[in-house]
Amino acid sequence: MAIRIPPPPRSWIDSIQDIRLRKEVAIWLQLIQSKLTSAAQVLWFQIDFTGSDLEDLEKRQHNTLQFQRQSISGNYQALVKDTTIFANASAGALTVTLPDATDAVGPINIKKIDSSGNFVSVDTLVGQTIDGGASFVLELQDETITVEPDGANWWIV
């Protein structure tokens, strides 16, 4: 999903006294804007470069998604901040339910880590799909699926 990064206010660039440096900063910022295109790779926070919002940046960063791994041995409702889920189905089959694809921001890796014959089912919310199907089953030890949302459904990548 492409995102557009807003440039800093012109007054911020104009406040640089050295004309050569000002041009270099403007080019550098344009280059950064062109490179920040994937929401899955970059989370951008709109910042007012004029002052007081910079103090609030630390608070906002502290409250943002902290991506994490989960080790599970029972049914699990995945969270948007989950990036990797290690599923141990040795005690019985289990289900990992993906979060709402409209809220998710990045891929989720799910791996069956046990050698039992029990399955790990990866399900979606009602009305959403994984490559067009309602679920995907991991049957073998070390079998892995990586799914990524498109804002409506999940896709195997």
pLDDT in tens, 134-148: 999 999 999 999 999
**Does the predicted model carry a pTM greater than 0.85?**
no
Picking from 47, 62, 77, the residue at the C-terminal end of a domain is 62
74 and 151 housed in the same domain: yes
Q: How confident is the model at residue 106 (pLDDT cuts 50, 70, 90)?
A: confident
Total domain count for the chain? 2
Dihedral angle computed from the Cα positions of residues 94, 98, 99 and 104, in that order, rounded to the nearest 10 degrees:
150
CATH number at residue 104: 2.60.120
Query: Cβ of 60: how many Cβ atoms within 10 Å?
Result: 12
Q: Is the same domain home to 21 and 57?
A: yes
Is 50 within the bounds of a domain?
A: yes
The yes-or-no verdict on residue 44 having pLDDT over 50 is no
Q: pLDDT band at 93, cuts 50/70/90?
A: very high
What does the mean pLDDT of the chain come to? 78
Last residue of a domain, one of 21, 43, 62: 62
Do 14 and 55 belong to one domain?
Answer: yes
- State how far the Cα of 45 lies from the Cα of 63, in Å rounded to an integer: 12
Same domain, 58 and 93: no
Q: Does 147 lie in the same domain as 72?
A: yes
Contacts of 34 (CB under 8 A, 6+ apart): none
Measured distance CA(15)–CA(58) in Å, rounded:
24
Domain shared by 97 and 117, yes or no: yes
Which residues span the domain enclosing 42? Answer: 10-62
Residue 126 pLDDT > 60:
yes
Mean pLDDT across the stretch 28-32?
66
Residues 72 and 58 occupy one common structural domain:
no
pLDDT tens digits, residue range 64-81? Answer: 445 688 999 999 999 988
Give the residue from 107, 102, 96 showing the smallest Cα distance to 138: 96
Tell me if 146 sits within 8 A of 156, measured CB to CB. yes
Residue 91 lies in a domain: yes
Structure tokens at 94: 């289990």
- Judged against a pLDDT cut of 60, whether residue 61 lies above it is answered with no
Q: What is the pLDDT of residue 23?
A: 72
- Going from the C-alpha of 111 to that of each of 86, 100, 108, 121, 142, the distances in angstroms are 5, 20, 10, 11, 6
The predicted pLDDT at position 30 comes to 65
60: pLDDT strictly greater than 50: no
Per-residue pLDDT at 34 exceeds 70: no
Please indicate, yes or no, if residue 3 is contained in any of the structural domains: no
Q: By the 8 A CB rule, do 109 and 144 touch? A: yes
In a domain, 149, yes or no: yes
